[in-house]
Chain A
Amino acid sequence: MNVLFDNLSLYGNGFLGTIKLFLVAAVGSLILGTVLAGARVSPVPVLRSFGTLYVNTIRNTPLTLVLFFFAFAYPRLEIADVSFFWRACIGLILYTAAFVCEVVRSGVNTVPVGQAEASRALGFTFGQTMTEVVMPQAIRSVVPPLTNVQIALLKNTTIAAGFSVLEAGGIYANLSERGYNVFVGLLWVALGFLVLVLPLTLLQRNLDRRWSTAR
């Protein structure tokens, strides 16, 4: 108990950092991932192959290495001075977007073929077919797995602690220096994550139940 109460501000700031990172990266990865999914099913062959190449490469790269690139290699490109927080966000967005893309793409594939064919028969363009007909239907089957990906993102933010972002993953290092029991400290961190993940899981279950019957 002491570990938590003696270091309340540490835990507070740590989890605040986690939540900030998560919110920014969640929104960013959803947008980029959807755009990427669009590219992967688009009529332009080059866009399709870029999308495929991107997803296959990123999915096979450990996140640590992505973040490492932004922390250590980026400064040498001398483009613009971006804070470590935003660089961590960019790294997380680029990584998570690949998974969001795959989920959205498989969601598109669950919409019956006739839907797209009918909209084409009505003279819709690719953009219209996607935004007006396919996506609104795909969303339903996409949201539950998408929530899973976002939960994974939430856990992943801990890796940013190694790249100069104050967040929950760095709490144990602080505690160890202060001479507290690291093990107990980590159990509190685990509990904190459960508290953050639980609402997301419940939301997912709820949506899943409601939307799978609506079909």
Chain B
Amino acid sequence: MKKLRILAAGVLAGCLALTACGQSGSPGASAPVVSETAEANVTVAGSPTFDAMKARDGVVVGVKDDQPGLGFKDATTGQYSGFDIEIARLVAAKLGFGADKITYKTVPSAAREDTIARGEVDYYVGTYTINDNRKKLVSFAGPYFVAGQSLLVRADDSTITGKDTLKGKKVCSVTGSTPIQRVREQGLTDQIVEFQTYTQCVDQLLSNQVDAVTTDDAILKGYAAQQPDKLKVVGETFSQEPYGIGLNKDDAALRNKINDILQASYEDGTWQKIYDETLGKSGSPASPPAIQRY
């Protein structure tokens, strides 16, 4: 017992000693793609959320921090990057808040509706699929992108080419997520594996424990881009996932304003530029979707 205690103390001391030295910076730095200057004198009449932003002179944006290419926080620098982040920055700039006025807040998927309803975030941008059930609790601006369910496999695997070749294969996705529920309901395979993050699924894929990872193609492309020699995205997409910006349910004024902002960026090419510099790097082109106003 005593020995164990000494060992434990030694380990702790070692941990502390380690912090005394080290490097800063990042192995792969990423600068913001679009440097929009903050618009001056913006008003959104009748929007309580906007009034709150003005009052605190800053925006709180709900995001994801573990989706490479979409919403990703680099632990070595603390910087956020990705397609969703760029969209969030664009919206903030057009509402009159520069990049330095944005506070990012990571929100777990299960808590998105609550966090928005409680006003903990002003708006949420993070692979948030628009659907009717969610519309009962929050409202959506957009869509700003349409993703679709797809498959990520090992680069040397040629047996899986699409959703109909999954029979008997082990398929992994995040616990309880829509993609895995779809695989289960459509009976694409009976070998379903669930973990808490896509990164863990990718880890299982690389150590041959599963044969495919399934979710929105946008997310999968982020992983494929990281390790193009080991991973590839295959097959046609087999669902439509329109990504929206989550907003307070009753704030129609802000919803309209953000829809206007998105529409303008579709028309003046800003959206295209953002896409090409982030997700577009994976090699597949895309064009802006049509805004659904309601």
Q: CB–CB under 8 A between A and B in the complex?
A: yes
Query: Would you give the shortest CB distance from B37 to chain A, in whole angstroms?
Result: 38
Q: Which residue of A lies closest to B8 (CB)?
A: A60
The contact of A176 among B131, B176, B192, by CB within 8 Å, is B176
- Is A56 a contact partner of B1 (Cβ separation < 8 A)? yes
**A contacts, CB < 8 Å to B:** 56, 71-72, 75-76, 84, 161-164, 166, 170-180, 182
Q: How far, in angstroms, from A2 to B293 measured CA to CA in the complex?
A: 29
Q: How far, in angstroms, from A190 to B172 measured CA to CA in the complex?
A: 27
- For A178, what are the chain B residues with a Cβ–Cβ distance below 8 Å? 133, 178, 181
Q: Given A56-B4, A84-B193, is A173 in contact with B200 using a C-beta cutoff of 8 Å?
A: no
Q: How far, in angstroms, from A177 to B215 measured CA to CA in the complex?
A: 13
- For B266, what are the chain A residues with a Cβ–Cβ distance below 8 Å? none
Flag the segment in B13-21, B202-210, B268-276 that touches A: B202-210
- Is B110 a contact partner of A172 (Cβ separation < 8 A)? yes
- Which residues of chain B from 111 to 163 have a CB within 8 Å of any chain A CB? 131-134, 136-137
Main DSSP-derived SS at the B contact region: mixed
- Is B175 a contact partner of A170 (Cβ separation < 8 A)? yes
Q: Given A56-B1, A75-B204, A179-B131, is A164 in contact with B176 using a C-beta cutoff of 8 Å?
A: no
Per-residue 0/1 for B92-106: is the Cβ within 8 Å of any A Cβ (1 yes, 0 no)? 000000000000000
Q: How far, in angstroms, from A173 to B112 measured CA to CA in the complex?
A: 12
- Is A72 a contact partner of B193 (Cβ separation < 8 A)? no
Q: Given A164-B194, A170-B194, A173-B110, is A179 in contact with B177 using a C-beta cutoff of 8 Å?
A: no
The contact of A162 among B134, B175, B178, by CB within 8 Å, is B175
- For A179, what are the chain B residues with a Cβ–Cβ distance below 8 Å? 131-134, 136-137
Query: Would you give the shortest CB distance from A20 to chain B, in whole angstroms?
Result: 16
Q: How far, in angstroms, from A28 to B46 measured CA to CA in the complex?
A: 63
- Is B200 a contact partner of A72 (Cβ separation < 8 A)? yes
Interface presence of B195 (CB below 8 A): yes
- Is A162 a contact partner of B110 (Cβ separation < 8 A)? no
- Which residues of chain B from 175 to 220 have a CB within 8 Å of any chain A CB? 175-178, 181, 192-196, 200, 203-204, 207-209
Q: For chain B, which range describes its interface: under 10, 10 to 19, 20 to 34, or 35 or more residues?
A: 20 to 34
Q: How far, in angstroms, from A176 to B110 measured CA to CA in the complex?
A: 5
The contact of B195 among A75, A162, A172, A177, by CB within 8 Å, is A162
Interface presence of B165 (CB below 8 A): no
Q: How far, in angstroms, from A170 to B172 measured CA to CA in the complex?
A: 15
Query: Would you give the shortest CB distance from B136 to chain A, in whole angstroms?
Result: 7
- Is B204 a contact partner of A174 (Cβ separation < 8 A)? no
Query: Would you give the shortest CB distance from A71 to chain B, in whole angstroms?
Result: 8
Can you list 25 contacts pairing A with B, beta carbon distance less than 8 Å? A72-B203, A75-B204, A161-B194, A162-B175, A162-B195, A162-B196, A163-B195, A164-B193, A170-B175, A171-B176, A172-B110, A172-B176, A173-B109, A173-B175, A173-B176, A174-B176, A175-B176, A176-B109, A176-B110, A177-B176, A177-B177, A177-B181, A179-B134, A180-B133, A182-B110
- For B132, what are the chain A residues with a Cβ–Cβ distance below 8 Å? 179
Query: Would you give the shortest CB distance from B179 to chain A, in whole angstroms?
Result: 9
- For B181, what are the chain A residues with a Cβ–Cβ distance below 8 Å? 174, 177-178
- For B176, what are the chain A residues with a Cβ–Cβ distance below 8 Å? 170-177
Other than A75-B204, A164-B172, A173-B175, give 15 A-B pairs with Cβ distance below 8 A: A56-B1, A75-B207, A75-B209, A161-B175, A164-B175, A164-B195, A170-B175, A170-B194, A171-B176, A173-B177, A177-B109, A177-B176, A177-B181, A178-B133, A179-B137
- For B4, what are the chain A residues with a Cβ–Cβ distance below 8 Å? 56
Q: Which residue of A lies closest to B176 (CB)?
A: A173
Q: How far, in angstroms, from A76 to B206 measured CA to CA in the complex?
A: 11
- Which residues of chain B from 238 to 273 have a CB within 8 Å of any chain A CB? none
Per-residue 0/1 for B163-175: is the Cβ within 8 Å of any A Cβ (1 yes, 0 no)? 0000000001011
Q: How far, in angstroms, from A175 to B181 measured CA to CA in the complex?
A: 11
Q: How far, in angstroms, from A177 to B178 measured CA to CA in the complex?
A: 6
Query: Would you give the shortest CB distance from B198 to chain A, in whole angstroms?
Result: 13
Q: Which residue of B lies closest to A169 (CB)?
A: B175
10 closest residue pairs by CB, A with B: A179-B133, A173-B176, A174-B176, A176-B110, A75-B207, A173-B175, A164-B193, A179-B134, A164-B194, A177-B178
- For B178, what are the chain A residues with a Cβ–Cβ distance below 8 Å? 177-178
Q: Which residue of B lies closest to A183 (CB)?
A: B114
Q: How far, in angstroms, from A84 to B207 measured CA to CA in the complex?
A: 14
Q: How far, in angstroms, from A152 to B248 measured CA to CA in the complex?
A: 40
Q: Which residue of B lies closest to A186 (CB)?
A: B110
Q: How far, in angstroms, from A177 to B172 measured CA to CA in the complex?
A: 16
Q: Which residue of A lies closest to B197 (CB)?
A: A162
Q: How far, in angstroms, from A182 to B112 measured CA to CA in the complex?
A: 11
